[in-house]
Amino acid sequence: DSGVTQTPKHLITATGQRVTLRCSPRSGDLSVYWYQQSLDQGLQFLIQYYNGEERAKGNILERFSAQQFPDLHSELNLSSLELGDSALYFCASSVDWGNSGANVLTFGAGSRLTVL
């Protein structure tokens, strides 16, 4: 158990629907990151939140949004789902000491989304 908790583990839905993925970071970690992993794309960075604020944005579609709450858990919202959104979605967290030193990201077990 990495200490990063993601729910649900599996989700099957239909095209056009909306889903919410939830992530609880490791105790003490202030940053949360969302990644998408599909067979042909590898691990793609979507977005990072630090202590409730958006910190960095990657290749996140406009149909996707995220937020981090005061208790530091985060949610990734995926709307108007398409077949191509089927993937593993990972959340990671880190302490994030700002810009000094490298920060190790600890990953959760992922949420597998299947869009039919």
Partner 1 sequence: EDQVTQSPEALRLQEGESSSLNCSYTVSGLRGLFWYRQDPGKGPEFLFTLYSAGEEKEKERLKATLTKKESFLHITAPKPEDSATYLCAVQAGGNAGNMLTFGGGTRLMVKP
Strand-pair partners of 56: 48
For partner 1, what does the binding mask look like between residues 37 and 56, x meaning CB under 8 A? -----xx-x--x-x----xx
Backbone angles phi, psi at 34, to 5 degrees: -115, 135
Phi-psi region at 115: left, alpha or beta (left = phi > 0; alpha = psi -120 to 50) = beta
CA 42, CA 90: separation in Å to the nearest integer?
12
CA distance 70 to 88: 26
Interface stretch with partner 1, choices 16-24, 69-77, 79-87, 101-109 (CB under 8 A): 101-109
| Per-residue contact flags (x/-) with partner 1 for residues 19 to 38, judged by CB under 8 A | ------------x-x-----
Number of residues that bind partner 1 (CB under 8 A): 29
Task: Return residues touching partner 1 (CB under 8 A).
Answer: 2, 4, 31, 33, 42-43, 45, 48, 50, 55-56, 58, 88, 90, 92, 94, 96, 99, 101-110, 112
